[in-house]
Structure 1
Amino acid sequence: MSETPRSTGAPAHQNVTFPSAGTTAHGYLALPPSGRGPGVIVIQEWWGLTDHIADVADRLAAEGFVALAPDLYGGNVAHDSDEALRMMQDLPVSRGVELLSGAVDHLLALDAVTSDSVGSVGFCMGGGFVLYQAAVDPRVSAAVPFYGVIRGELPDFSGLKAEVLGPV
């Protein structure tokens, strides 16, 4: 696997660190006005953890959720679609799912989270990861992929516990 090149795009939108997959992960955490609520994971598009994804987390927080958007690219944000494609291809699906499991661990360990499972929402690459994560992690109780991109083999959905809301 090649090393992901440092992006020429804007820096990732980050405000929290947590242990995940044997490393220190970064992400964006948004709290609801009450300071407490059910947890939701917001999974980035192929561009990285952009201001748009942070805004989605903020909007979910405004509706009462504790929203965590993990940074799957370690601080890199793509500048153009060629770079975004390269960065997405350099992230193996299994590694992304492993990083997301650490994000679920972190979110559920927060005192602010009132639920014992999480929802997951994602866009494009993140929509695919919503499905991969829900297929393997029973702590994901609701999965909402927006135009999810499935790379490689389809996940094994035989153990799926989550409610899935998506296009028909």
Structure 2
Amino acid sequence: MPAITVPGATTVSSLEAYLAVPPGEGPRPGVVVIHEAFGLNADTRAQADRLAAAGYLAVAPNLFTAGGVRCLRSTFSAMLAGEGPAFGDIDATRTWLLAQPDCTGRVGIIGFCLGGGFALATASRGFDAAAPNYGRLPRNAREVLVGACPIVASYGGSDRTLRGAAGKLESLLTELDVVHDVEEYPGAGHSFLSTATGPAASLMKVMGMGPHQPSADRAWERILGFFATHLRS
């Protein structure tokens, strides 16, 4: 699958991205895939490939295209604040997908860690469904999530960095009358949907995070079922 550039971004003139195309002929729904703090790596590409195999035109933009530690810090700050140049990059990716002749015109967003926070923060910005995975709630979450699209969210019960986040999100989405499916997996830590193997997976495990296959299988089952309902209709 090809590396591409997305025009119209805010932080750079051409945003680096990875495109995963489903087999067969379109049109098909699109999904914007937002990476975690490690950037657009093999893990993110694998998640995009999984969505493509399920029939979605998946595009993963590199929010760190501009490069540098400052870029990482500013992107995190934007996610928490609910505003900043990174949101322009995500919107440019959504717009690019909508312009593709083999896209149905329905586009979802999925994110992991940092990307999960962006999936929440952009759920009311033109997407048809959102799948935040272990994503932090924006500081002004109640305001940000008013009018949000349907949300399917997954958290690890053993994730020490996001204690109580699933319950808070569940309560808030219920209060705002947003269609949702929020689940917390007791045996999973942060980044439990990661596809990392070998030394990387071992290091993550020591840190109380990383792959947890039973929880990942259940989460993907929910995500794909939710997307089928809200993106294919």
Quote the residue 2:121 is aligned against.
132
Distance 1:127 1:14 in 2: 24
Superposed displacement of residue 112, structure 1: 1.8
Could you list the runs of 5+ residues in structure 2 that have no partner in the other structure?
154-181, 184-233
Distance 1:88 1:149 in 2: 16
Within the alignment, does 1:74 sit opposite 2:58 as a pair? no
Superposed displacement of residue 121, structure 1: 0.7
TM-score (normalizing by structure 2) = 0.57
- Structure possessing the higher relative contact order (Cα contacts under 8 Å, 6 or more residues apart): 1
Identity, in percent, stands at 34
**One-letter code of the match for 1:113?**
C
Deviations for 1:84-107, whole angstroms, at most 9, x for unmatched residues?
Answer: xx6532223322211100000001
Quote the residue 1:108 is aligned against.
98
List 4+ stretches of structure 1 deviating above 6 A: none
Q: Specify the SS of the correspondent of 1:134.
A: coil
Equivalent of 1:88 in 45, 53, 72: 72
| Paired positions, count | 145
TM-aligned CA distance change 1:18 to 1:98, over 3 Å: same
Distance 2:133 2:35 in 1: 11
The structure with the greater share of residues assigned to helix is 2
Aligned pairs for 1:34-49 (under 5 A) are 34-36=24-26, 37-49=28-40
Whichever of the two has the greater Rg, that structure is 2
**Is the contact made by 2:138 and 2:144 (CA closer than 8 Å) also made in structure 1?**
no
Deviations for 1:134-165, whole angstroms, at most 9, x for unmatched residues?
Answer: 12x12x011010000235443522232x1101
Quote the residue 1:18 is aligned against.
6
Q: Specify the SS of the correspondent of 1:47.
A: coil
Equivalent of 1:99 in 83, 89, 99: 89
Quote the residue 1:141 is aligned against.
128
Quote the residue 2:19 is aligned against.
29
Equivalent of 1:60 in 51, 65, 76: 51
Distance 1:19 1:132 in 2: 22
TM-score (normalizing by structure 1) = 0.77
Deviations for 1:67-122, whole angstroms, at most 9, x for unmatched residues?
Answer: 00011000759xxxxx6xx65322233222111000000011111212x2211111
